[in-house]
């Protein structure tokens, strides 16, 4: 018989406990044809682990020549290589050996029959014992209804009654919840039994059975006891019977499979003529539904559909059609429908020498070693979809009839969904389940298809990822870590690094472990872009290791990382020490005239960022200056770094001058003249001492000149101790402004300043200094001889206000017509024109003399006219003012009754009435309030009054006396002028 192509069985994930699942399904390419002794040793071990094995071609026959064997081995090796190139298919089923008490029961006994209903299994043994166990292998009940092997068992729909048939000739129906039981002795070995549908709910308690007697017997309970009805007989032993609704199907030796309604035969389906012996390969019947019957007999599978007969037919009302016949090169022990277009069959592979027992060769007459049973999924057309070889204990000794398969609903099996199946052999019970999405993920992982596995596992529910009974959890993290390990082993570090965020997520420890793995593999740069800096935040050592890696291998990335990373995730001081040490070792320029080398520039930028982040702005300042950062001045002012600038003055000014030059080139005329560095130094002389700045700028005199000049503009006394130096700097860099400085400052040494000007031949400055030194004649001589500027000589003489100097100037001008004319044009209070004209020698030709004289006369007449006009105006104004005053003083004065005395603040009118004094300024006071009037006021009142009323002459005389007593005039005005009266 041809051996079908083996396929992969389920392969366990390395992280998963291998014990719950069978390992007896061998992957493609493995060799199950090992020695019988080794197989027996494996099967007889009590490890409880299943073995799986795929089918391959038989080995070459023994006795072949060595060269033939060698060729066969080479061919086999080539076939294996070709097969390895093919892509393996994913298994459809998975297997689990039932545990619990079943293993102990089968050590002393062998299973022979199986029935499944709800959550219970009825397991019949060769010792005639029936064990009721649940689907986890836990034994619920055991009883012994028979004295020989149990040949068949069946539950009713409620799982309360169990019917068992035995070769001891008895059929026993036992209730599991009550003491009700029925036992029927059929006198001959019984091979099969079936309960009527809804057995527990019907009073008839009917069942049908058959066996070696060749009769199919219906036994039912009536009023007078049990009644037996023979439904069929005469065609050999009845091997299998199943009852569905009103239909009973059975199989015997000759007619194969028969279907009928009770007491009314529907049809017979003939057994294939070339079928193997029925006693060795019994028929299996399975009702797919109420009208579909699956028949598996040896190497054939048939599907029978039962439908209503057309109304025109005269026969009975049902027709059976044989819709499918699939001859197979295998012996089928049982068949179950898995889905509508496919079937699950339990197949028994016969030996190649099967059927030749009639030979005289005793070796060939010996019992043949059996192959492993197989679970195959086939389509309705006979195409094989998958095949798994089951490794059961001592499978070499079992025949086809020793295997039984039954269906169980998935919800009845813990942790499963969908339909499942139970397969038994004399020593094993195997649970067969469809592979779910979790198993699909495990298979993908096992075959290193990790991308697909990650996609699938993310689709799983939480319950699916960690089902009850699993010892390990399937999760994207676990699969992802295995994928990363695989990629690392393959050397694909880039893809492995890209998976880390997905796998490690927020797990700090996992992140750190993988980062160190990459570091040990010299691939740290690959994972760095994926390293998280927050949520989660790793240990600071990890980030410092990364920065150290950049410091050695990629300094551009170091600078970029320092700028982008949060500064709180690593120890800034540690990184500063490392970068500083590297900067000291790198070749760089320590002078300020040129920028450092490129590597040193990067390191300095890193240090500037680090110091700034660590709030050490003073230490960052030198690097900002050397790097020519435009925000230096904002940094200094913002963080008050003036004390740190005092040692970086030269760098600061150089940088500022570069900015000024750049602005000039860009056309910023307005900003080109203002030096921000100089202004900063001048504005903060308390933090940046002047002497310290001068000391640093002595080698750069132009910068020193700018600084001292700005300092002098702010306050002429601030840089007084450097006045002599400033004279020199003005003479060198701003000669045109030296004279202004000499005039404004008094701190410099006159002698030293004169010598400096003399060395540079600065005549104007020398004239000024000589004048300040008191050597006016020498100064005037310089003006006359060196400059020849009469106007300057005149101005100099005016400034000095020295008659002798004027005399010298006149004397010097006697022989110089130009000077005479200049003097004539500038005559005034200092020069008497008559004096000048008299010194002119006769015959001396003076150009412009006539015009000069006319101008003098004209100016003189103009001066006389102005003086006369001014006198006329003054006289008129004086007369007007006198008249206004006289009018004001002579006008009347209205005094109110509440008018107060300014001196005593008392009313002027009171009783008796005091003497009141009225002044021209209109102030009225009591005579008693005036100090000098006390002697007049103390006379007798009658006398005073008499004097006042005696006539006009008396009043005038009295007024004269009073005026004499008050020489200062109005006491109010006097006191106000003295400040004694508010």
Q: Higher pLDDT residue, 70 or 299?
A: 299
Angle between helices 690-697 and 649-666 (to 10 degrees): 70
> Residue 924: left (phi > 0), alpha (psi -120 to 50), or beta?
beta
547 and 531 in contact (C-beta within 8 Å)? no
Please tell me whether the peptide bond between 536 and the residue prior to it is cis, using omega within 30 degrees of 0: yes
Give first-to-last CA distance, the chain, whole Å.
145
Stretch 156-177: mean pLDDT, rounded?
93
Q: Which of 673, 671, 693, 672 is nearest to 682 (CA)?
A: 693
In the sheet that 257-261 helps form, which strands lie side by side, from edge to edge?
238-244, 247-252, 257-261, 264-269
Three-state DSSP class for residue 102: helix
Give CA 745 to chain center in angstroms: 66
For 426-467, the pLDDT digits (tens) are: 999 999 888 888 888 888 888 888 888 888 888 877 666 655
98 vs 102: CA distance, rounded Å? 7
Q: What is the mean pLDDT of residues 805-817?
A: 68
Of 763, 819, 737, 822, the closest CA to residue 771 belongs to: 763
Average pLDDT (972-980) is 84
Of 150, 155, 205, which is closest to residue 182 (Cα–Cα)? Answer: 205
What DSSP character marks residue 882? H
Environment class of 937 (CB within 10 Å of its CB; exposed 0-12, middle 13-18, buried 19+): middle
Residue the block writes with tokens 């308690």: 205
pLDDT of residue 165: 96
Separation of alpha carbons 429 and 98, rounded Å: 6
User: What tokens were used for 300?
Assistant: 């054939």
Cα–Cα distance measured from residue 122 to residue 547, given in angstroms and rounded to the nearest whole number:
70
Tens digits of residue pLDDT in 94-148: 888 888 888 888 888 999 999 998 789 999 999 999 999 998 889 999 999 999 9
CB 227 within 8 A of CB 219: yes
Q: Which residue has the higher pLDDT, 14 or 400?
A: 400
* CA triple 203-208-210, angle to 5 deg: 155
Cα distances (angstroms) measured from residue 494 to each of 423, 489, 519, 558, 823 = 48, 12, 13, 20, 99
Model pLDDT for residues 929-971, shown as the tens digit of each residue: 888 776 665 554 445 545 555 678 888 888 888 888 888 888 8
Is 50 exceeded by the pLDDT of residue 600? yes
User: The pTM is what?
Assistant: 0.57
CB-CB contact of 198 with 161 (8 Å): no
* DSSP-derived 3-state class of residue 87: coil
Mean pLDDT over 795-800 rounds to 70
Q: Are 745 and 768 in contact (CB under 8 A)?
A: no
DSSP readout, 286-299?
Answer: EEEETTEEEEEEEE
Residue-wise pLDDT tens digits, 69-97 = 444 444 444 455 444 445 677 888 888 88
Least confident of 160-174, 546-560, 625-639, 786-800: 786-800
pLDDT average, residue stretch 662-671: 65
Give 240's contacts (C-beta < 8 A, 6+ positions apart). 152, 191, 192, 250, 251, 282, 283, 284, 285
**pLDDT value of position 858:** 77
Which tens digit of pLDDT belongs to each residue from 30-63? 333 333 333 333 333 333 333 333 333 334 443 3
pLDDT of residue 582: 87
Q: Which two tokens stand for residue 510?
A: 């996992």
Instruction: Report the largest interatomic distance among the alpha carbons of the chain, rounded to a whole angstrom.
Output: 201
Q: Per-residue pLDDT averaged across 551-563, rounded?
A: 89
Q: What is the CA radius of gyration of the chain?
A: 66
Q: How confident is the model at residue 788 (pLDDT cuts 50, 70, 90)?
A: low
> What average pLDDT does the chain have?
77
Question: Distance (Å, rounded) from C-alpha 614 to C-alpha 280?
Answer: 90
CA-to-CA dists, residue 963 to 914, 919, 935, 941, 958, angstroms: 18, 10, 14, 20, 9
């Amino acid at each position: 018989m041809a051996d079908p192509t083996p396929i992969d069985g389920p392969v366990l994930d390395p992280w998963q406990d291998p014990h719950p699942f069978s390992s007896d399904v061998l992957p493609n390419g493995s060799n199950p044809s090992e020695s019988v002794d080794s197989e027996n040793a494996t099967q007889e071990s009590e490890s409880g682990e299943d073995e799986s094995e795929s089918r391959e071609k038989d080995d070459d026959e023994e006795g072949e020549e060595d060269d033939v064997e060698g060729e066969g081995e080479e061919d086999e090796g080539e076939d294996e290589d070709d097969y390895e190139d093919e892509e393996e298919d994913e298994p459809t089923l998975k297997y689990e050996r039932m545990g619990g008490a079943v293993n102990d029961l089968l050590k002393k006994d062998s299973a022979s029959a199986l029935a499944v209903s709800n959550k219970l299994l009825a397991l019949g043994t060769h010792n005639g014992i029936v064990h009721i166990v649940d689907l986890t292998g836990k034994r619920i009940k055991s009883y012994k209804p028979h004295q020989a092997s149990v040949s068949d068992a069946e539950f009713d729909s409620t799982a309360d009654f169990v019917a068992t048939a035995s070769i001891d000739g008895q059929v026993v129906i036992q209730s599991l919840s009550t003491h009700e039981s029925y036992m029927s002795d059929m006198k001959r070995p019984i091979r099969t039994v079936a309960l009527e549908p809804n057995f527990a709910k019907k009073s008839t308690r009917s069942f049908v059975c058959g066996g070696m007697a060749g009769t199919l017997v219906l036994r039912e309970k009536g009023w007078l006891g049990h009644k037996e009805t023979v439904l069929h007989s005469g065609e050999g032993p009845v091997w299998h019977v199943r009852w569905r609704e009103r239909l009973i199907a059975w199989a015997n030796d000759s007619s194969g499979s028969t279907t009928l309604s009770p007491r009314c035969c529907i049809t017979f389906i003939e057994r294939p003529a070339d079928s193997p012996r029925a006693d060795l390969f019994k028929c299996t019947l399975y009702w797919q539904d109420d009208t579909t019957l699956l028949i598996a007999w040896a190497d054939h599978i048939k599907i029978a559909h039962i439908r209503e007969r057309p109304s025109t037919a005269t026969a009975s009302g049902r027709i059976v059609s044989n819709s499918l016949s699939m001859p197979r090169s295998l012996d089928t022990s049982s068949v179950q429908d898995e889905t509508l277009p496919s079937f699950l069959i339990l197949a028994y592979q016969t030996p190649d020498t099967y059927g030749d027992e009639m030979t005289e060769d005793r070796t060939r007459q010996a019992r043949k070693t059996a192959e492993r049973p197989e679970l195959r999924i086939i389509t309705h057309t006979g195409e094989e979809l998958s095949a798994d070889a089951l490794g059961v204990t001592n499978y070499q000794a079992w025949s086809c009839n020793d295997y039984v398969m039954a269906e169980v609903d998935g919800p009845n099996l813990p942790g499963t969904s969908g339909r499942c199946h139970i397969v038994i052999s004399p020593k094993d019970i195997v649970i067969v389940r469809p592979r779910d999405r979790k198993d699909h993920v495990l298979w993908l992982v096992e075959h290193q298809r990790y991308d697909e596995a990650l996609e699938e596992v993310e689709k799983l529910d939480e319950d699916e990822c960690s089902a009850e009974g699993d010892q390990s959890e399937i999760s994207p993290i676990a699969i992802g870590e295995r994928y990363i390990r695989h990629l690392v082993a393959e050397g694909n570090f880039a893809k492995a690094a890209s998976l880390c965020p997905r796998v490690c997520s927020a797990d700090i420890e996992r992140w750190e472990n993988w980062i160190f793995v990459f570091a040990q593999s010299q691939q740290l740069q690959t994972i760095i872009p994926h390293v998280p800096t927050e949520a989660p935040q790793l240990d600071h050592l990890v980030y410092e290791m990364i920065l150290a890696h950049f410091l050695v291998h990629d300094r551009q990335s170091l600078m970029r990382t320092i700028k982008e990373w949060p500064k709180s995730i690593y120890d800034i001081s540690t990184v500063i020490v490392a970068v500083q040490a590297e900067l000291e070792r790198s070749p760089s320029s320590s002078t300020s005239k040129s920028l450092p080398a490129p590597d040193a520039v990067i390191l300095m930028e890193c240090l500037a960022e680090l110091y700034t982040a660590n709030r050490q702005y003073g230490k960052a300042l030198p690097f900002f200056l050397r790097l020519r950062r435009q925000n230096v001045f904002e940094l200094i002012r913002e963080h008050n770094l003036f004390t740190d600038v005092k040692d970086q003055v030269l760098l600061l000014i150089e940088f500022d001058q570069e900015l000024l030059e750049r602005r000039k080139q860009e056309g910023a005329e307005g900003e080109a003249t203002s030096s921000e560095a100089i202004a900063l130094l001048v504005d903060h002389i308390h933090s940046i001492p002047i002497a310290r700045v001068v000391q640093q700028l002595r080698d750069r005199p132009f910068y020193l000149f700018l600084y001292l000049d700005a300092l002098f503009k702010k306050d002429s006394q601030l840089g007084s101790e450097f006045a002599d130096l400033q004279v020199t700097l003005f003479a060198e860099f701003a000669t045109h402004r030296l004279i202004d400085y000499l005039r404004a400052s008094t701190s410099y040494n006159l002698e030293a300043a004169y010598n400096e000007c003399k060395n540079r031949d600065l005549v104007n400055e020398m004239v000024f200094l000589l004048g300040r030194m008191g050597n006016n004649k020498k100064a005037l001589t310089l003006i006359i001889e060196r400059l020849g500027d009469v106007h300057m000589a005149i101005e100099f003489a005016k400034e000095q206000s020295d008659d002798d100097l004027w005399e010298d100037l006149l004397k010097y001008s006697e022989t110089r017509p130009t000077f005479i004319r200049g003097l004539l044009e500038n005559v005034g209070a200092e020069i008497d024109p008559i004096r000048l004209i008299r010194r002119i020698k006769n015959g001396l030709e003076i150009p412009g003399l006539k015009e000069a004289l006319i101008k003098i006369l004209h100016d003189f007449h103009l001066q006389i006219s102005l003086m006369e006009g001014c006198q006329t105006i003054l006289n008129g104004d004086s007369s007007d003012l006198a008249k206004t005053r006289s009018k004001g003083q002579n006008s009347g004065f209205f005094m109110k009754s509440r008018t107060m005395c300014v001196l005593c603040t008392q009313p002027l009118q009171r009783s008796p009435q005091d003497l009141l004094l009225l002044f021209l300024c209109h102030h009225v006071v009591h005579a008693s309030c005036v100090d000098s009037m006390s002697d007049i006021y103390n006379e007798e009142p009658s006398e005073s009054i008499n004097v006042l009323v005696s006539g006009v002459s008396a009043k005038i005389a009295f007024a004269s006396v009073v005026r004499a007593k008050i020489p200062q005039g109005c006491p109010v005005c006097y006191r106000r002028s003295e400040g004694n009266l508010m």
